[in-house]
Chain A
Amino acid sequence: MAVPKVMGTEVEYGITVKGDPDFDPISSCVLLVNAYREDQAGDILWDYDQENPLADARGFQVDGEKYTPNQQENIARNKTLMNGARYYVDHAHPEYSCPEVTNVRELVIHEKAGERILEASRREANALLPPGAQLLIYKNNSDRKGNSYGSHENYLMDRRTPFKQIVEHLLPFFVSRQIYCGAGKVGSENRGHSVDYQISQRADFFETEVALDTMVKRPIINTRDEPHADREKYRRLHVIVGDANLSEYTIYLRNGVTALILSMIEDGAIKKSLSLRDPVKAIKEASHDPGCRVRLQLDDGKKMSAVELQKEFLEMALAYTSSRSLDVVTKDVIARWQHVLECLARDPMELHEKIDWVMKKAMIESFMERKQLDWDSPQVGLLDLQYHDLRPDKGLYYLLERQGRAERIVTDEEIAAAVHNPPRDTRAYFRGECLRRYGSAVFGVNWDAISFGVNGEPIKRILMAEPLKGTKVYVEDLLTSSPTAADLVRNLRT
């Protein structure tokens, strides 16, 4: 039975310092993250205790070393914000994990709020750098030198759904969804076939179908099993195959359609097997064809293009939803998904104001046409990168948006509000409000727990195993009647 699709994304950003080719990425990240100040912020630890990145969803534990920084490092690298987000240093990248939301429209708002927060901290951090050095941030996945970094999606699922079933249906879904989710990329990598422009930033880097690792031999389906919630009831599906997206329309479809497909898997509504003979080969074949015509080999002997595969999923989705009452957002997602597939079947370039990879391609081709350049020109490589630049006055996505060439889903006012305020209908509300009201008494925090240090007493840890509790409706009275953290802890005991 489908559980509500609580979701969130974690975006690793690219970082560089112009004017300092020998900059150290880790200390630059620490500088960046600490440059973002919220008034009530204290020195708060990220609570790694419940984390278990070595647990595999297929039912075993892998040997290895868990990385847990010491207290000082921890505080320097981890910020939990009043909007419920986590903003931190992950290896050599700044990472923003947005708070848990219940629907894709709010997901767009909160992922965009993350961009604003990154940009605000970038400006603050710059003031601290020597003259001539400038910190730059990119929302993308590739440096075109063989390195890749991820934009991960997380979806709440019913633990009873067999993982094997999830794998079977998601492999063809993930291989094909890039036609409306890809962020586009000039050239190819990782020994991929040579290509002028491809649909996905990440496709070349995927080497296996199903596995636990996220950095080497990347799998299309990641088996990380850290629910950060009641593990009897829930699974958190951790998706690493997607691109970082700037277009709101693209983010909306990416999470919106994926969430719907996951509900369908939970409810046994994917009636057809669309398994591909070789998904790892197919994900690259699809990515390397911006015409979206290449036919991929299915296991049953048939061939289908990515568009045709997605149309199969759409048809099943229409059947699934015809007998259900749908919320406004889901109806809207389906309508746009259908529209996009129709455009892709005719001519993908019709989507030059909606889907990132098409927007970027149209922009680059216009530039090439005017300046008589070809795909190997350095300026073309720069356009590929600068599309993802977070500076509002330099980033080329933002330029398109300003010029009315990017269809929007949400408003600037909604995004601005989400920079400071948590979603109201998940446990992110409780987390964010505790940080706002009791910041100096908060000792540590994680997705499913918050601990207080009160009056020199032993640390009190409050567990939040239910993502749909801790909402405004549940905790507003409790918070209002608890002026201090000591009050809160006492009130929770009674």
Chain B
Amino acid sequence: MRHHNATRRLANHADAECFAVFTASDSTQKQVPRKGDSDEQPGEGGGPQKLAKRGKELKDSMDALVDEIDEVLEENAEEFVKNYVQRGGQ
């Protein structure tokens, strides 16, 4: 059984967030001001403790999400998916 380490991937995302501010942008591209830019926070430091804390926050947040999904997910997954058939579509 393959396990997909979503937590580690999210920790990498935290890495990317912290270091994104240092990524050189393509100098041939004209800079267009960006709105609602929640992925990049200029000035955020990148120490290992902060990364670990961020990693844990994300894991807790994901756990909370999974719990919520569990509560609303239909029962009998296999049968439910098997019964979902659509014909005659464009």
* A contacts, CB < 8 Å to B: 12, 14-16, 18, 21, 25, 90-93, 138, 141, 143-145, 147-150, 152, 214-215, 240, 314-315, 318, 322, 331-332, 334-336, 338-339, 342-343, 346-347, 349-350, 352-353, 362-363, 365-372, 374-375, 377-379, 381-383, 385-386, 393-394, 396, 399-400, 403, 405, 407
| B49 located at the interface, meaning its Cβ lies under 8 Å from any Cβ of chain A in the complex | no
User: When A16-B83, A336-B34, A393-B72 are in contact, do A215 and B39 touch as well, CB less than 8 Å?
Assistant: no
Which residues of chain B come closer than 8 Å to A386, judged between CB atoms? 72-74
Q: How many A-B residue pairs have CB under 8 A?
A: 159
Which residues of chain B come closer than 8 Å to A382, judged between CB atoms? 73-74, 77, 80-81
Complex contact B73–A349 (CB within 8 A):
no
Complex Cα distance, B80 from A378, in Å, reads 9
Complex Cα distance, B14 from A349, in Å, reads 11
Residue among B37, B81, B85 with max Cβ neighbours from chain A (10 Å): B81
Partner of B9, one of A141, A349, A363: A349
User: When A143-B85, A382-B73, A383-B73 are in contact, do A149 and B4 touch as well, CB less than 8 Å?
Assistant: no
User: When A365-B4, A369-B7 are in contact, do A150 and B90 touch as well, CB less than 8 Å?
Assistant: yes
Which residues of chain B come closer than 8 Å to A339, judged between CB atoms? 34, 37, 39
Closest to B23 in A: A346
Contact with A along B1-23 (1 / 0, CB 8 A): 11111110110110011001001
Which residues of chain A come closer than 8 Å to B28, judged between CB atoms? 315
User: When A336-B35, A365-B9 are in contact, do A403 and B86 touch as well, CB less than 8 Å?
Assistant: no
Partner of A346, one of B16, B32, B88: B16
| B47 located at the interface, meaning its Cβ lies under 8 Å from any Cβ of chain A in the complex | no
User: Main secondary structure on chain B at its contact with chain A?
Assistant: loop
User: When A12-B90, A93-B88, A152-B90 are in contact, do A366 and B62 touch as well, CB less than 8 Å?
Assistant: yes
Which residues of chain A come closer than 8 Å to B80, judged between CB atoms? 18, 382, 385
* Smallest CB-CB A-B distances: 4 pairs: A149-B89, A365-B6, A92-B88, A378-B78
Complex contact B90–A91 (CB within 8 A):
yes
Complex contact B81–A144 (CB within 8 A):
yes
Complex Cα distance, B68 from A162, in Å, reads 52
> How many Å from the CB of B2 to the closest CB on chain A?
5
Complex Cα distance, B61 from A363, in Å, reads 11
Which residues of chain B come closer than 8 Å to A374, judged between CB atoms? 1-4
Which residues of chain B come closer than 8 Å to A15, judged between CB atoms? 86
User: When A143-B84, A347-B13, A381-B81 are in contact, do A375 and B72 touch as well, CB less than 8 Å?
Assistant: no
Complex contact B90–A149 (CB within 8 A):
yes
Complex contact A335–B32 (CB within 8 A):
yes
Q: Can you spell out 19 A-B residue pairs with CB atoms less than 8 angstroms apart?
A: A91-B90, A138-B84, A145-B85, A147-B85, A149-B86, A215-B90, A318-B30, A346-B16, A346-B23, A349-B9, A366-B6, A368-B3, A368-B4, A368-B6, A369-B7, A374-B4, A394-B72, A403-B65, A403-B68
User: When A12-B90, A335-B33 are in contact, do A347 and B3 touch as well, CB less than 8 Å?
Assistant: no
Complex contact B39–A350 (CB within 8 A):
yes
Which residues of chain A come closer than 8 Å to B85, judged between CB atoms? 16, 143, 145, 147
Complex contact B16–A338 (CB within 8 A):
no
Which residues of chain B come closer than 8 Å to A349, judged between CB atoms? 9-10, 12-13
Complex Cα distance, B2 from A268, in Å, reads 50
Complex contact A370–B90 (CB within 8 A):
no
Complex contact A399–B86 (CB within 8 A):
no
Complex contact A147–B89 (CB within 8 A):
yes
| B36 located at the interface, meaning its Cβ lies under 8 Å from any Cβ of chain A in the complex | yes
Closest to A12 in B: B89
Partner of A370, one of B10, B34, B66: B66
> How many Å from the CB of A184 to the closest CB on chain B?
15
Complex Cα distance, B86 from A93, in Å, reads 8
Complex Cα distance, B17 from A315, in Å, reads 25
Which residues of chain B come closer than 8 Å to A363, judged between CB atoms? 65, 69
Complex Cα distance, B3 from A371, in Å, reads 10
Complex Cα distance, B39 from A393, in Å, reads 28
> How many Å from the CB of B73 to the closest CB on chain A?
6
Partner of B88, one of A21, A25, A403: A25
| B29 located at the interface, meaning its Cβ lies under 8 Å from any Cβ of chain A in the complex | yes
List 15 additional A-B contacts (Cβ < 8 Å) besides A342-B25, A347-B12.
A12-B89, A14-B84, A25-B86, A149-B88, A339-B34, A349-B9, A363-B69, A365-B9, A366-B62, A366-B66, A369-B62, A371-B66, A374-B1, A374-B4, A383-B69
Which residues of chain A come closer than 8 Å to B88, judged between CB atoms? 25, 91-93, 149
Closest to B32 in A: A335
Which residues of chain A come closer than 8 Å to B77, judged between CB atoms? 377-379, 381-382
Residue among B3, B4, B7, B25 with max Cβ neighbours from chain A (10 Å): B4
Complex contact A399–B72 (CB within 8 A):
yes
User: When A350-B16, A370-B63 are in contact, do A379 and B90 touch as well, CB less than 8 Å?
Assistant: no
| B38 located at the interface, meaning its Cβ lies under 8 Å from any Cβ of chain A in the complex | yes
Which residues of chain B come closer than 8 Å to A338, judged between CB atoms? 29, 32, 34
Which residues of chain A come closer than 8 Å to B37, judged between CB atoms? 339
Closest to A15 in B: B86
Complex contact A407–B36 (CB within 8 A):
yes
Residue among B2, B28, B80 with max Cβ neighbours from chain A (10 Å): B80
